[in-house]
Chain A
Amino acid sequence: MKRQSGAHSLLEYSELVRNLTVKEFKLRYRNSVLGFIWSLLNPLAMMVILTLVFSTLFRAGIENFPVFLLPPLLAWRFFSISTSMSLSSILGNASLVTKVYFPRWLLVLSSNLANLIGSSLEFAVLFPLLIYMGMKVTVLTFFLPIILMFEFMLIIGISFILAALNVYYSDFNQIWDITLQLGFFLCPIIYGMGLIPERYLLVYSLNPMTRVIEAIRKILYHNVLPTLADFMIVLVSGLILVLAGYFIFSRLEPGFAEEI
């Protein structure tokens, strides 16, 4: 049977992608009174608790901890929520997948697009609060959307893999849950890179999510330009993940309807 190439079907199905993204958004906040406000309360609550813990209990001595913490925390939320929701982007649409054909990867894309919009809104709404708490807005702030777009590539690539494998093995729900818990502490979200011993630094900083978080902190907290290495590591690993993810996904796709 003839298969369409990815780019071709994206053009052809652009309105479908839009409709599916809107659908994701609607379903997420349906039957909820506060809706999107929950997406703001969650990181804010985390920020308050972690600030209390780290400035009074542990006395980490980080100046202006809320501004140090919140932007990386939002970037991590973008990553963790998008990837974990992608686990169900095929399974959760079983009623579509078993009844009608369309390129299945559009489901993964639209789930992630809904999260991209959600996270952008989180950043946008919490930005004034950050400025009020002492964050400086500089020319460098322009790099924030760029680094978030690079992060989006990481997310898409991983999501392809997770969405496809989860159809065959439900273990990936648990595996990914643990991975994210570890990842939260393995990335410099609640602490700075300075705490990492020198001999681990090379391995530690090869993690693209470390680079995303470091770059965002450099831009918004330290007000310095991220290094070229920061951008390149995220971009290159993003490209590799998207290609590998799409490859794995399209290999497994024909069996989805049968396995669901």
Chain B
Amino acid sequence: MTAIQVEDLWKKFKIPHEKRTTILENLAGVLQILDRERFSYEEFWALKDINFTVESGEFIGIIGENGSGKTTLLEIITRILRADKGKVTVKGKVAPILQLGVGFHPELTVKENVIIYGSIMGLKNKAIKRRMDSILQFAELERFKDAKLKNLSSGMQVRLGFSVAIETDPDIFLIDEALAVGDIDFQQKCIEQFKEFKSRHKTILFVSHALSLAKEFCEKTMLLSNGEIIEFGRTEEVINHYLNRARKP
């Protein structure tokens, strides 16, 4: 069964030469009253003609230089960003774990955030309360359950994000460099968790610069460069390719 299908996907960002946020500035930009240079922008294609399919139960690694479009791709699959062209079909519940947290409010406490996030992911309040202890336990944050999120360290926030996402029991995980912030113990725990996902036939898209992790878990890996898929195939080969490209002067 197909979990994610991406067809002919294009995504453009505008890079303004100076940011415009008031109506006057925009009017001036449109009418070109003020100097052109200041109000013009460049188009930047972050993703170009992306096509691929992920079967459910597959673990896919996504690698590539900084700015190659990895995060943008995940953000479009989760519907946070809109594509300029193309079609994305996703079957099943998606839990994105993007850099630093999963959608938390800094002024709310750990527990309050778990409740909000849980209900965004479609859990009933009763179910969230039932799972609260195991979420806090996995994140090792029992002591901090009434602390405001902004007072937690970045590692703690990622731990919380990870454990709350796991407990909402999604079909598809989109993980963006989340593990890099956690300590060794937590990384080890996540790896155990990955193994369990694998046995339960979950789908994962895994963006990482930790190539050893990709090698260990992903049958297939996608190499992105400048918004294009350079290669999508067996992890070993793609990673070797990537390393060879990097070594070139």
- B168 shortest CB reach to chain A, Å: 11
Compute how far the CA of A23 lies from the CA of B119 in the bound complex, rounded to whole angstroms: 12
Which one, A9-17, A132-140, A188-196, A205-213, is touching chain B? A9-17
Whether a CB of chain A sits under 8 angstroms from the CB of B1 is no
Complex contacts, A20 vs chain B, CB 8 Å: 116
Whether a CB of chain A sits under 8 angstroms from the CB of B81 is yes
- A232 shortest CB reach to chain B, Å: 34
Complex contacts, A19 vs chain B, CB 8 Å: 115-116, 119, 125
In the complex, which residues 158-185 of chain A have their Cβ closer than 8 Å to any Cβ of chain B? 169-171
- How many residue-residue contacts, CB under 8 A, span A and B? 79
Whether a CB of chain B sits under 8 angstroms from the CB of A149 is no
Complex contacts, B104 vs chain A, CB 8 Å: 95-96, 99
Contact A1 B103 (CB under 8 A): no
Residues of chain A at interface, number, CB under 8 A: 28
Contact A1 B79 (CB under 8 A): yes
Compute how far the CA of A258 lies from the CA of B119 in the bound complex, rounded to whole angstroms: 24
Compute how far the CA of A96 lies from the CA of B149 in the bound complex, rounded to whole angstroms: 13
By beta carbon, the residue of chain B nearest A96 is B103
Q: Which among A1, A27, A30 has the greatest number of chain B C-beta atoms within 10 A?
A: A1
Compute how far the CA of A170 lies from the CA of B23 in the bound complex, rounded to whole angstroms: 8
Compute how far the CA of A188 lies from the CA of B102 in the bound complex, rounded to whole angstroms: 48
In the complex, which residues 92-145 of chain B have their Cβ closer than 8 Å to any Cβ of chain A? 96, 98, 101-108, 112, 115-117, 119-122, 124-125
Whether a CB of chain A sits under 8 angstroms from the CB of B82 is yes
- Contacts A12-B122, A169-B26 given; does A99 touch B80 at CB 8 Å: yes
Q: Which of A15, A171, A254 contacts B82 (CB 8 A)?
A: A254
Compute how far the CA of A105 lies from the CA of B106 in the bound complex, rounded to whole angstroms: 21
Whether a CB of chain A sits under 8 angstroms from the CB of B21 is yes
Q: Which of A12, A15, A101 contacts B79 (CB 8 A)?
A: A101
A74-110 vs B, CB cutoff 8 Å, 1 = contact: the mask equals: 0000000000000000000101111111100000000
Contact A30 B107 (CB under 8 A): yes
Contact B22 A169 (CB under 8 A): yes
By beta carbon, the residue of chain B nearest A100 is B103
Q: Which of A16, A99, A100, A169 contacts B23 (CB 8 A)?
A: A169
Whether a CB of chain B sits under 8 angstroms from the CB of A222 is no
Q: Is the interface of B mostly helix, strand, loop or mixed?
A: loop
Contact B119 A13 (CB under 8 A): yes
Chain B, interface residues (CB within 8 Å), range: 35 or more
Complex contacts, B88 vs chain A, CB 8 Å: 1
Whether a CB of chain A sits under 8 angstroms from the CB of B75 is yes
Contact A99 B98 (CB under 8 A): yes
Compute how far the CA of A254 lies from the CA of B84 in the bound complex, rounded to whole angstroms: 11
Whether a CB of chain A sits under 8 angstroms from the CB of B40 is no
Contact A258 B79 (CB under 8 A): no
Complex contacts, A16 vs chain B, CB 8 Å: 116, 119-120
By beta carbon, the residue of chain B nearest A255 is B82
Compute how far the CA of A18 lies from the CA of B118 in the bound complex, rounded to whole angstroms: 13
Complex contacts, B121 vs chain A, CB 8 Å: 100
In the complex, which residues 197-235 of chain B have their Cβ closer than 8 Å to any Cβ of chain A? none
Compute how far the CA of A54 lies from the CA of B240 in the bound complex, rounded to whole angstroms: 83
Q: Which of B21, B78, B87, B124 contacts A100 (CB 8 A)?
A: B78
Please name 7 pairs of A and B residues whose Cβ atoms are closer than 8 Å in the assembled complex, sorted by A: A1-B83, A26-B112, A99-B80, A99-B96, A100-B120, A169-B21, A258-B81
List the 9 shortest-distance A-B pairs measured between CB atoms, nearest first: A100-B103, A254-B82, A99-B103, A16-B119, A101-B79, A257-B80, A96-B103, A171-B23, A19-B119
Since A30-B107, A99-B80, A99-B96 are in contact, a sample of 9 more A-B pairs with Cβ atoms closer than 8 Å, ordered by chain A residue number, is: A15-B119, A15-B124, A96-B103, A97-B80, A98-B80, A100-B117, A102-B120, A171-B24, A255-B82
